[in-house]
Amino acid sequence: MDVVIVGAGIVGAASALALARAGCRVTVVEERFPGGGATAAGMGHVVVIDDSPAQIALTSRGRALWESLAPHLPAAAEYRRPGTAWVAADDDELAEAAAKAERLAAAGVAARLVGPAELARFEPALRPGLAGALVVPDDAVVYPPPVAAWMVAEAIDAGARLRRGVAATAVEPGGVLRLTDGGRIEADAVVVATGAAAARLVPGVPIRPRKGHLVITDRAPGLIRHQIVELGYVKRAHDVGTDSVAFNVQPRATGQVLVGSSRQIDVTAPAVEPKLLETMLARCFDYLPRLATVPAIRAWTGLRAATPDGLPLVGPWPAIAGLWLATGHEGLGITTAPATAEGLVAGLLGRDAVVDPAPWLPARFLAVPVEAAR
């Protein structure tokens, strides 16, 4: 089978590798270079999210696939498993943590509630007075750009072709891709994996950009040990319409701390916004006061590809024959890229799926007008 993949972010790269290894003749079209889009802007937290059964299935499969990839990854991928500490500010949030623990347990995901004293021992830099945390020990952290580059290189070893420096301009029915250099590629299937830019290539796809800010600090080894996230994070991430910030910090393999996070819908200007940064950092200092004295090296932004229901779009787009989508991963595309790739292989080659693909099928948005789905 001939497959052309547009975009070599983590999603396109993982898909190229999986499809090439499954015996497809793969061509990857990347306008810049592999791993330079949202994949380079995000946090790389490989995390199980339990806000819906579909999400838990997808993220836990993604996490498991990362774990089996780990021994093969280049050192630059900095893959490690510091685990996640979902911190509860008060007793209400602690109750929410307990409910979360149950949902995770039901899905076979290890998690453990810790009280304030144990939390203070685990994460001594957190402010006193927190109610406790839910620790998910098997969540991981990765630095995605070299992974995308490595996946593309491995795909090429397996017979794939990379066309970089050229962009796709249109997808036509019957598996035809038009390129900026005037060329066209024909294939049995065109997979659009262009992240937040998907709607540019496929009009009508219900993807909206959702901007996020991040800050990286100088090396501060030992300041934090887990990826620490406030429990309110998922709730706020869900509320697509409003701008939000959440305390979300990550220990990098270098000893640096990666600090997030913010969400703004339909904002595409890449500039760092001081006002938003201030709100985001104030939230972080509230939990981790010592962060304020650690030098900040850089701040930047990136675009997530948000869908109306928070689940990705993976599968055929019935409006155009031969067109498949692999986008809409919002803030979880690193986690779920390997599971996405696995699902694409199953779908394209008619194999049995490991995770039920129904909740991600793009067709779910063709039954209702796109506007209503927002």
Partner 1 sequence: MNGPADTARSHRDTVTLVVDGVSVAAVRGQSVAAALLSRGGATAWHVRTSVTGAPRGPLCGMGVCFECRATVDGRELVRTCQETVRDGMRVDTAAPAAAPRACPAIPAVPRHGSCDVLVVGAGPAGIAAASAAATAGADVIVIDDNPAPGGQIWRGGAARPEGGARFFPGTAVVTVTPSGAIQLQDAVGTRQVVARRIVLATGARERFVPFPGWTLPGVVGAGGLQALVKQGLDVAGRRVVVAGSGPLLLAVADVAARSGARLEAIAEQADRVRLAGFAAWLVAEPAKLVQAVGLARTTAAVYRLATFPVAVRAAADGLVVTLRSGRPGRERDRDVACDILACGFGLVPNTDVARAFGCAIGADGVVVDERQRTTRPDVLAAGECTGIGGVDKSLVEGRVAGLVAAGAGATAAPLLAEVRRARQFAARLLDTFALDPRLRTLASAETVVCRCEDVVAERLRGFTGWREAKLLSRVGMGPCQGRVCGTATAVTCGFAPDDVRPPLVPVPTGALADAVSP
Ligand X SMILES: Cc1cc2nc3c(=O)[nH]c(=O)nc-3n(C[C@H](O)[C@H](O)[C@H](O)COP(=O)(O)OP(=O)(O)OC[C@H]3O[C@@H](n4cnc5c(N)ncnc54)[C@H](O)[C@@H]3O)c2cc1C
State yes or no: residue 194 binds ligand X (CB under 6 A). Answer: yes
Short-list 44, 31, 47, 60, CA closest to 146: 44
Size of the site for ligand X (CB under 6 A): 41
Binding partner 1 (rule: CB under 8 A), the pick from 92, 157, 266, 278 is 278
Question: Choosing among partner 1, ligand X, none, which partner's interface includes residue 220 (Cβ < 5 to 8 Å by kind)?
Answer: partner 1
- Number of CB atoms found within 10 A of residue 56's CB: 19
Chain mean position to CA 277: 21
Binding ligand X (rule: CB under 6 A), the pick from 1, 23, 32, 221 is 32
State yes or no: residue 219 binds partner 1 (CB under 8 A). Answer: yes
State yes or no: residue 83 binds ligand X (CB under 6 A). Answer: no
Binding ligand X (rule: CB under 6 A), the pick from 27, 55, 217, 327 is 327
Site string for ligand X, 297-316 (x = CB under 6 A): -----xxx------------
State yes or no: residue 122 binds partner 1 (CB under 8 A). Answer: no
- Minimum separation from the CB atom of position 117 to ligand X (A): 29
Q: Residues 220, 77: contact at Cβ < 8 Å?
A: no
Binding ligand X (rule: CB under 6 A), the pick from 65, 334, 341, 345 is 334
State yes or no: residue 25 binds partner 1 (CB under 8 A). Answer: no
State yes or no: residue 130 binds partner 1 (CB under 8 A). Answer: no
Chain mean position to CA 142: 11
- β-partners of residue 73 are none
Angle in degrees, CA 133, 134, 136, rounded to 5: 135
- Please identify, using beta-carbon distances, which residue of 182 and 274 lies nearer to partner 1: 274
CB contact burial 322-338 (16+ within 10 A = b; e otherwise): bbbbbbbbbbbbbbbbb
How many residues are given for the chain? 374
Eight-class DSSP state of 2: E
- Please identify, using beta-carbon distances, which residue of 35 and 206 lies nearer to partner 1: 35
State yes or no: residue 253 binds partner 1 (CB under 8 A). Answer: no
List the interface residues with partner 1, window 296-335 (CB under 8 A): 296-300
- Number of CB atoms found within 10 A of residue 370's CB: 13
CA atoms within 13 A on the CB side of 72: 10
State yes or no: residue 292 binds partner 1 (CB under 8 A). Answer: yes
CA torsion sign, 342 to 352 to 198 to 28? Answer: positive
- Please identify, using beta-carbon distances, which residue of 54 and 77 lies nearer to partner 1: 77
- Minimum separation from the CB atom of position 353 to ligand X (A): 20
State yes or no: residue 271 binds partner 1 (CB under 8 A). Answer: yes
Stretch that binds partner 1, among 6-14, 65-73, 187-195, 212-220 (CB under 8 A): 212-220
Contacts of 171 (CB under 8 A, 6+ apart): 6, 177, 178, 190, 192, 201, 202, 320, 322, 323
List the interface residues with partner 1, window 141-180 (CB under 8 A): 145-146, 149
Binding ligand X (rule: CB under 6 A), the pick from 54, 64, 168, 231 is 168
- Minimum separation from the CB atom of position 116 to partner 1 (A): 16
Q: How far apart are CA 117 and CA 123, in angstroms?
A: 10
- Please identify, using beta-carbon distances, which residue of 9 and 312 lies nearer to partner 1: 9
Structure-token pair, residue 200 = 């540019």
DSSP alpha helix (H) spans, 165-250:
198-201, 232-238
CB contact burial 94-126 (16+ within 10 A = b; e otherwise): bebbeebbebbeeeebebebbebeebbebbebb
Binding partner 1 (rule: CB under 8 A), the pick from 128, 129, 182, 222 is 222
Interface ranges with partner 1 (CB under 8 A): 32-33, 35-36, 40, 76, 124-125, 145-146, 149, 215, 217-224, 254, 259, 271-275, 277-278, 281-282, 285, 289-300
Interface ranges with ligand X (CB under 6 A): 6-12, 29-32, 36-39, 41-45, 167-168, 193-195, 197, 201, 212, 214, 260-261, 302-304, 327, 329, 331-335
